[in-house]
Amino acid sequence: MDIAGMRRDYDGVELLEENIHSTPSQLFEQWLEEAVAAGVTDPNSMVLSTVSPSGTPSSRVVLAKDITDRGVTFFTNYDSQKAHEIGANPNVSLLFHWAELNRVVRIEGRAERISDEDSDRYFDSRPRGSRLGAIASPQSQVIASRSVLTDKIAELEKSEEPIKRPANWGGYLVRPSSVEFWQGRPDRVHDRMRYRVDGAQWVKERLAP
């Protein structure tokens, strides 16, 4: 297979300094809406990268569940690998890739747990099966077989107790310090605009492709 020969040209709307918003959250919201309108599959999916105490990076795909001026929120098991690594080093990166629009958003920042009340509110909004799955799964741990999960879910299904959020499951807010918007352009002369925190303000700057 000729991987080296795999290439295509990129095209997209110019990303110019005079046409972008003053804060990254505004531009991100615009791009997300355009990704939804373009029919992008799972437009809120993102790659979350963390670093272990020994310095080993790891990445996985998670879903963003809230995006505001404060940052990006996702949910997970607090006993998972990602949660343990965030506990040791809260510096993380996020990456959104909308291939249909030739766009990438890269976010660097610090992750912090959200309140129990906010985690409860989101957990209660999830479909019943998703709530049971979150309770049943010892995320990131080695298990003997899939039946470990299905048997536990079947057991939970028999219970008449309310399905409450387990204490080891909840949300993180990633507060960004840097947000880069990448727009694919012809001949690899891509547009890269970065917002960077400088004191209490966002500074906009263009990066070479």
pLDDT band at 180 (very low <50, low <70, confident <90, very high): very high
Percent of the chain with pLDDT over 90: 83
pLDDT band at 102 (very low <50, low <70, confident <90, very high): very high
Indicate the average pLDDT of the chain: 94
192 C-beta neighbours (distance < 10 Å), count: 17
Cα–Cα–Cα angle for 111, 88, 44, nearest 5°? Answer: 30
pLDDT score for 201 = 94
188 is an active site residue: yes
Query: Model confidence over 39-68: pLDDT tens digits?
Result: 999 999 999 999 999 999 999 999 999 999
pLDDT score for 158 = 87
Over residues 117-128, mean pLDDT: 97
Least confident range of 151-155, 173-177, 178-182: 151-155
pLDDT score for 168 = 97
Query: Model confidence over 131-156: pLDDT tens digits?
Result: 999 999 999 899 999 999 999 999 99
Q: What tokens does 10 get? A: 């990129």
196, pLDDT greater than 90: yes
9, pLDDT greater than 80: no
From 188, 192, 196, 206, active-site residue: 188
pLDDT score for 160 = 82
pLDDT score for 107 = 98
Q: Which domains does the chain have, with CATH numbers?
A: 3-121+168-207 (2.30.110.10)
From residue 143, how far is each of 54, 129, 138, 148 by CA, in Å? 25, 20, 8, 7
78 close to 119: Cβ distance less than 8 angstroms: no
Provide the phi-psi class of 71: left if phi over 0, else alpha when psi is between -120 and 50, else beta: left
pTM across the whole model: 0.93
The C-alpha atoms of residue 82 and residue 95 are separated, in whole angstroms, by 15
7, pLDDT greater than 80: no
Residue ranges of alpha helices (H) inside the chain are: 24-37, 81-88, 116-125, 128-136, 147-158
